[in-house]
Amino acid sequence: MVIVVGNPANTNCLTACKSAPSIPKENFSCLTRLDHNRAKAQIALKLGVTSDDVKNVIIWGNHSSTQYPDVSHAKVKLHGKEVGVYDALKDDSWLKGEFITTVQQRGAAVIKARKLSSAMSAAKAICDHVRDIWFGTPEGEFVSMGIISDGNPYGIPDDLLYSFPVTIKNKTWKVVEGLTINDFSREKMDLTAKELAEEKETAFEFLSSA
């Protein structure tokens, strides 16, 4: 398994994948678990629960400010029962506005506040990422991971390293299928895919001239 953390993580991971064709593409992944954990934390803070009470948030796309933190399919445990995050919060404008930008820009906000990067949070996210690859995801839960987009069911172009919701079993990831994608999500997902395609083009132009 090859896990890429250094930014631009998605495009660096794709470059590594292309540079090592003897290693299966499926063995490469990049870290979007830090964003995933941040999205869970923001929901938990808003609802006054712990991050462990929130599951199935999704980070779509690039580990950048175009990433799309999506809670359309997320659940939260409230008063002993699981409910949808949208139903629990009843604040669509926050979920479609401030929540998204907070998660997108959280890394920059931490650096601005601390004058240092969020190294411990990243280390925790790497541990979460590796643990789930090794031991699998719990039944009924999925996590976010930057993986090769080939053959995905969500209309994202092939040959990008894109963050999807995945389940993991026997050290093999599988993209979660059948999630409904509304127009708001579609636009956000396509925007981050476009950025990744542009990054890929720039990186490969550079590599071919090197």
Q: Phi-psi bin for 155: left (phi > 0), alpha (psi -120 to 50), beta?
A: left
Q: Of the listed 36, 63, 73, 129, which one is catalytic?
A: 63
**Contact (CB, 8 A) for 201 and 193:** no
At 107, is the pLDDT very low, low, confident or very high (cuts 50, 70, 90)? low
| Annotation says 79 is catalytic | no
**pTM (2 d.p.):** 0.94
Residue range 122-133: mean pLDDT, rounded: 96
Q: Is the pLDDT at 119 greater than 80, yes or no? A: no
- Give me the domains of the chain, ranges plus CATH numbers: 2-204 (3.90.110.10)
For residue 4, the tally of other CB atoms under 10 A from its CB is 22
Buried/exposed 86-121: b ≥16 CB within 10 Å, e otherwise: eebbeeeeebeeebbebbbebbeebeeeeeeebeeb
At 108, is the pLDDT very low, low, confident or very high (cuts 50, 70, 90)? low
- What pLDDT, in 10s, does the model give residues 27-39? 999 999 999 999 9
Q: What length does the chain have? A: 210
Q: Is the pLDDT at 209 greater than 80, yes or no? A: no
- What pLDDT, in 10s, does the model give residues 154-191? 999 999 999 999 999 999 999 999 999 999 999 999 99
Query: For position 136, what pLDDT does the model report?
Result: 98
Query: For position 114, what pLDDT does the model report?
Result: 67
